[in-house]
Structure 1
């Protein structure tokens, strides 16, 4: 099958990476970008005052089950998470819990917090089926746990974590609870009040199909109080035109007609393809399906699918460094579905995938031997000036403790 076999229409199975922006959203982004180019940012802010200070927050509140006063428009989930952690007043006696499914970007913020405060980082272990071990959490929770970070849906696979159950487990304790909803919001119901989290972050350009570099955060009053002595909530809003386009995407998403769940068909298409292996831990799966093939590299599968008019994503182990590398995953293919897909899209994907993995695999190009360098001329020793020495830069303080496994 090639792209001509379905009329040249591309099948977009990558809303988890970058949602297909609706025409109305693109028009808003273009219109206000041109307006700013002609009249400047101050005039743009005045024209968009109601949109940026009222309307978008009302739409975020309705989508996320949070008061409008708790919502912030940001440049993206990872930036918001890092900004909040950069001001959290933790100390060496505090423990921070993360999970094996945490993204590399969020782990960077966690390690920076550990380096700044000396807090201990522990990884919540997994059950044999790949779900987070909530029984372990119940046994080990205490008031020395200051922060718990959980992705609602990880970027590298489609498992859905029981964020509401975790919120109820943590509620009696002093810890702050942060949930990354980047790969959940827009494809699954997300309710910050039911989750019970103090920080909920998300991206607007994935399943919500807004513009790139526009996202959101919900910051509960308790977290805002904790950040107040350190200067408050340090979130930087996106460009005004991008925020206006996100506002339009939120309006269209609210009005979108729900489609039948296509994820089981997507998984079935992968499982029915000879040799493919699903990467699907956990008991509950979302509309994200990750897989690999033992003989055909993920990059080649992605390119061949693109040649056949199907857009997917190649993911690498470093995106989820505490989970994928330990399972022997180096690269994989990630496909995802949204309400604008159809059952016919899944059928065409299944045919294209069969073709993509059945073609010949090019042999790897052997490495070229290094050129033989000419022998270097003997160095002429030079006397060093008296009293001159090399300066070694030694980091202050004790070395950072290693990350602790929860098991």
Structure 2
């Protein structure tokens, strides 16, 4: 049982807003805020380089706490500016040739899909998307068949897509990739902090995430998990700087042996320290307890939303995430979001351009309203949201 009173007491934002935009950027808890501001003050007092030296051990804890989140080691973690930055660094380390196949899904994140298209334009790779099962979510059987027949250079799956409530079967796909020795990239941007994520069970070679969403960390920080297999094969991002490699002679360099070869030298260390605090905070609350609480809140909210006149949920899949996407016959999603905001209720929009394949097959040509509860939300806040929507639709 979570101590909701203490958790909310440590979350200053709940005094001002009802926050259901945790899939966008969650409310930071006070220990995270304090870690960031304390380091900024330290930099102001003694200088940025000097402050980094003073806080060297605390900075290293970013790698330890992130590794603990994913059940790996600190040497397998790289700090990045955001999830998309991490994803691009992973992609750039793969030596694609013309005709290579990237096998992905129809629900992979928009930035990932655009990156695949860019690779196709630049290198002539092929993009293949596995089919979905009727209940929603990618077909593991079709994935297995396509891996067997196509032997893709890369399999890429978004664990929890940005819309439609899906949780993709990344562990089952990872077992197939391991069997065929295919590189496997998992976008866990919306799942880390919301659900337990274990890279040893997923069997991925890369995993990317941001700190600002369900992990409740600061904006401007992300991370990349890199497997021992990738490191042992001397894979590295296309552009390595002096932090990721040592310049040995005029014409040679030596890669950093750990995942730090995927990093740049310059970091916003205040945010690194804040992210480390956020990761420890999630671990202390308990990832299983967070997942259980989120499932309870979302089940309650979904059951009330489907009773509202003209409201249709777009969520599908055998397991549902803490992302609820809906459209309403009477009001455009943009209007609903603005109306809720006037009542200090934060939600967000899921645009057609962020999920073109999924929304086209559902006949959705406009934005939808995205509601993303998290464990610190209350049943009273859910009731406030539903009552506001009910008044608006009436």
TM-score (norm 1): 0.82
What's 2:362 paired with? 327
Q: Please tell me whether the aligned partners of residues 236 and 262 of structure 2 are also in contact (alpha carbons under 8 angstroms).
A: no
In structure 1, the gaps of 5 or more residues are: 1-6, 359-407
2:377 to 338, 341, 354: 341
What's 2:272 paired with? 243
What's 1:106 paired with? 112
Q: Distance in 2 between matches of 1:155 and 1:348?
A: 24
Greater share of residues in helix: 2
Question: What CA deviation, in whole Å up to 9, does each residue of 1:133-183 have, x standing for no partner?
Answer: 111122221363110110110012211011111111221113110111111
Quote the offset at 1:343 in angstroms. Answer: 1.6
Quote the offset at 1:273 in angstroms. Answer: 1.0
Q: Distance in 2 between matches of 1:93 and 1:315?
A: 33
Quote the offset at 1:8 in angstroms. Answer: 7.3
What's 1:4 paired with? none
Q: Which consecutive segments of 4 or more residues in structure 1 shift more than 6 A? A: none
2:207 to 200, 212, 215: 200
In structure 2, the gaps of 5 or more residues are: 1-13, 241-254, 256-260
Closer, same or farther in 2 for the Cα pair 1:24/1:102, shift >3 Å? same
Closer, same or farther in 2 for the Cα pair 1:190/1:98, shift >3 Å? same
Establish whether residue 168 from structure 1 lines up as the match of residue 175 from structure 2: yes
Quote the offset at 1:347 in angstroms. Answer: 1.5
Closer, same or farther in 2 for the Cα pair 1:277/1:238, shift >3 Å? farther
Closer, same or farther in 2 for the Cα pair 1:57/1:8, shift >3 Å? closer
Establish whether residue 297 from structure 1 lines up as the match of residue 332 from structure 2: yes
What are the residue-to-residue correspondences of 1:2-401 with 2, within 5 Å?
9-53=16-60, 55-142=61-148, 144-224=151-231, 225=233, 227-228=235-236, 233-236=261-264, 238-256=267-285, 258=289, 260=293, 261-329=296-364, 330-358=366-394
Q: Distance in 1 between matches of 2:49 and 2:121?
A: 39
Quote the offset at 1:228 in angstroms. Answer: 4.2
The alignment yields a C-alpha RMSD, in angstroms, of 2.0
Quote the offset at 1:121 in angstroms. Answer: 0.9
Q: Which moved more, 1:106-115 or 1:282-291?
A: 106-115
Q: Please tell me whether the aligned partners of residues 98 and 122 of structure 1 are also in contact (alpha carbons under 8 angstroms).
A: yes
